[in-house]
Structure 1
Amino acid sequence: MSALDPRLTPANGHAAAHELRGVVEATRYVKGTVRTVQQPLVNLAEAPRGERASQLLFGEAFRVIDERDGYAFGQSLRDGYCGYVLAGALARQEAATHWVAAPATHLYPKPKVKAPPEVSIFFGSHVRVTADHGEFQKISTGHFVPTQHLQRLRARFSDPVGVADMFLGTPYLWGGSSRWGIDCSGLVQQAFVACGIDCPRDSDQQMGLGRELREDEPLHRGDLIFWRGHVGIMASDTLMLHANAHHMAVAYEPLEEAMARIAASQAESTGAGEVTARRRVERPA
């Protein structure tokens, strides 16, 4: 049997998800407890106090498998990604009714545009609306969110490139998942999930999406193009949109220029080199 991908395996030696009994060794096997993120962002790391691998957004669900020393180990219900988050960033599970469909939104203390906002949350965050105040929606925290910034939980966009364009200029951040900072695969994931397409977190996992294009097939808007450790989304047959460390931002870049630049970096033994895959992902009917 092939080795399990630790990114998707809810087990850390101390505890494992009950469905892994007989598959991995652990001191105990648990069903886990689903909790909700109560901060605008929280880092998901490979180890306690470790480097950021991804991020969870406000209102997202996280299945806790083990908790010790101020950290909770578990699995994101968005994409199955496993890791450690600060336990204090999690609260009891709460069913959401809406999600944030603007790049970011403010949480206001009153349903008034001139009221000083207390904090911001980001695209893809989940909230529970408790009252309709016309131009504002009251959420379960007691704050108010502009009605225009929210969509019903099942509502989805139709164009992943249009979603990715909302992040134009966002600072590049390794493991980032929001307008505050985002990386290449985080951008692709946000774009596709917002359009109702399940999408894993990392670029190597995303290479399993859709189908491989034939060598003679031209690229179309929405196609994905991969290098080792990098992914971009095509805005047209010649223009790519991607979060990248060259621009340190989400930026448009002519594909030919990006290919030449990345290939040149291979000569310095620091880059990703040649294109490894071109994939087309169809939106579900």
Structure 2
Amino acid sequence: MTLDRRLTPATDRVALESLAGVIERPAYTPGHPARLTVPLADLMTAPDGRRDRQVNFGADVTVIETRGDWCFVQAALDGYCGWLPAAALGTDLPPITHRVTAPATHVYPAPDMKQRETASLSIGARLSVAGIEGRFARLATGGFVPVQHVGDRPAPDPVPVAESLLGTPYLWGGNSRWGIDCSGLVQAALTACDIPCPGDSDLQRVAFPAVDDIRRGDLLFWPGHVALAMGPDRMIHATAFAMAVIVEAIPDALARIEAAGDGPFLGIRRPALAQPAALA
């Protein structure tokens, strides 16, 4: 059996107990929960290796193996597996109540915007808010963020979420305001609406049903690339063509990508919008 490395919670030495009898490893583990405690971290193919994707502050993971200063984990968001610095993880897991809804925000040591910020968080960062003090949300993990930048309900439409990231620089494997790629943008937009979404474009293409007509919120696919339809004629995507998140006319993008020899158009997929609910 060939398993997708990105989604297989196993190293060459240890696998999750759920894989016993599926793949052979010297040891199996139930794993243990942890949470990202730094603003952003690269999820690596190997300790100190190449970036596959990124995980944002507050991301929950299952730790499968610790090897020196590195932990092999599986992300709860999308099942993606890889290596994170052990120092970036904590085991204090207060309930998640909010997430960052602005493209980015700052964490302050006190509920005062004139204080020097202690960290910067990207859209999608998951927060444990312990209370509200004036115009700031007090985090259970320490620090304060502006209440205007956080929310406790899903967004109703992925398109405005993606539009809020216009101009964000393109970054291969990126998942934040500081740099994002095509599948990272789509995942950020859909996740904000509580629509489960894989991390890479090939996985996204098989996750949603195919359709023939283009509507707002649909996903458009090419080999190694995905865009989010804003309507039947326009799309938004993070593209190496502009090295940024841009809006482009769909007919123009189809012609440009075909002329560049970057592969045929692979079709349209339609995620189903989730029903509004409180964050879990």
TM-score past 0.5 threshold: yes
Conserved 8 A contact 2:39-2:120: yes
CA distance in 2, matches of 1:262, 1:178: 25
Runs of 4+ in 1 over 3 A off after TM superposition: none
Whether 2:254 is the aligned partner of 1:259: answer yes
The Cα shift of 1:57 comes to: 0.5
**Aligned-partner residue type, residue 226 of structure 1:** F
**Aligned-partner residue type, residue 28 of structure 1:** A
CA distance in 2, matches of 1:158, 1:52: 31
Q: Secondary structure at the match of 2:226?
A: strand
CA distance in 1, matches of 2:141, 2:10: 32
Identical aligned residues as a percent: 45
The Cα shift of 1:142 comes to: 2.2
The Cα shift of 1:63 comes to: 0.6
**Aligned-partner residue type, residue 276 of structure 1:** L
Q: 1:280 aligns with which of 251, 270, 276?
A: 270
Corresponding residue of 1:126: 126
Whether 2:141 is the aligned partner of 1:141: answer yes
CA distance in 2, matches of 1:130, 1:122: 20
Cα deviation per residue 1:74-93 (whole Å; 9 max; x = unaligned)?
Answer: 10001000011111111114
Corresponding residue of 2:216: 221
Whether 2:37 is the aligned partner of 1:47: answer no
CA distance in 1, matches of 2:37, 2:200: 24
CA distance in 1, matches of 2:121, 2:151: 14
Q: Secondary structure at the match of 2:207?
A: coil
Conserved 8 A contact 1:62-1:75: yes
The Cα shift of 1:131 comes to: 2.6
Conserved 8 A contact 2:168-2:177: yes
CA distance in 2, matches of 1:212, 1:138: 43
**Aligned-partner residue type, residue 97 of structure 2:** T
CA distance in 1, matches of 2:48, 2:113: 39
User: 93-102 or 8-17, which moves further after superposition?
Assistant: 93-102
Conserved 8 A contact 1:105-1:122: yes
CA distance in 2, matches of 1:20, 1:139: 37
Give unmatched runs, 5+ long, in structure 1.
none
Whether 2:100 is the aligned partner of 1:105: answer no
CA distance in 2, matches of 1:191, 1:198: 10
CA distance in 2, matches of 1:244, 1:171: 9
- For these two proteins, the number of residue pairs brought into alignment is 274
CA distance in 1, matches of 2:182, 2:247: 12
CA distance in 2, matches of 1:5, 1:86: 23
Conserved 8 A contact 1:242-1:252: yes
CA distance in 1, matches of 2:215, 2:78: 26
TM superposition score normalised by structure 1: 0.93
Conserved 8 A contact 2:193-2:274: no
**Aligned-partner residue type, residue 183 of structure 1:** D
CA distance in 2, matches of 1:132, 1:263: 52
1:73-112 residue pairs with structure 2 within 5 A? 73-94=72-93, 95-112=95-112
Corresponding residue of 2:158: 160
CA distance in 2, matches of 1:61, 1:196: 16
- Are residues 93 and 28 of structure 1, via their aligned partners in 2, closer, same or farther at CA, if it must alter by over 3 Å? farther
Q: Secondary structure at the match of 2:66?
A: strand
Conserved 8 A contact 1:13-1:25: no
Conserved 8 A contact 1:224-1:280: yes
CA distance in 2, matches of 1:70, 1:115: 33
Q: Secondary structure at the match of 1:109?
A: coil
Cα deviation per residue 1:127-183 (whole Å; 9 max; x = unaligned)?
Answer: 11223202111112321111111112xx10111111111110000001100101100
CA distance in 2, matches of 1:51, 1:256: 35
Q: 1:246 aligns with which of 241, 244, 259?
A: 241
User: 189-198 or 127-136, which moves further after superposition?
Assistant: 127-136
CA distance in 2, matches of 1:60, 1:213: 32
Whether 2:81 is the aligned partner of 1:63: answer no
1:175-254 residue pairs with structure 2 within 5 A? 175-214=173-212, 217=213, 219-254=214-249
TM superposition score normalised by structure 2: 0.95
CA distance in 2, matches of 1:84, 1:279: 31
CA distance in 2, matches of 1:35, 1:142: 17
Give unmatched runs, 5+ long, in structure 2.
276-280
Corresponding residue of 1:29: 28
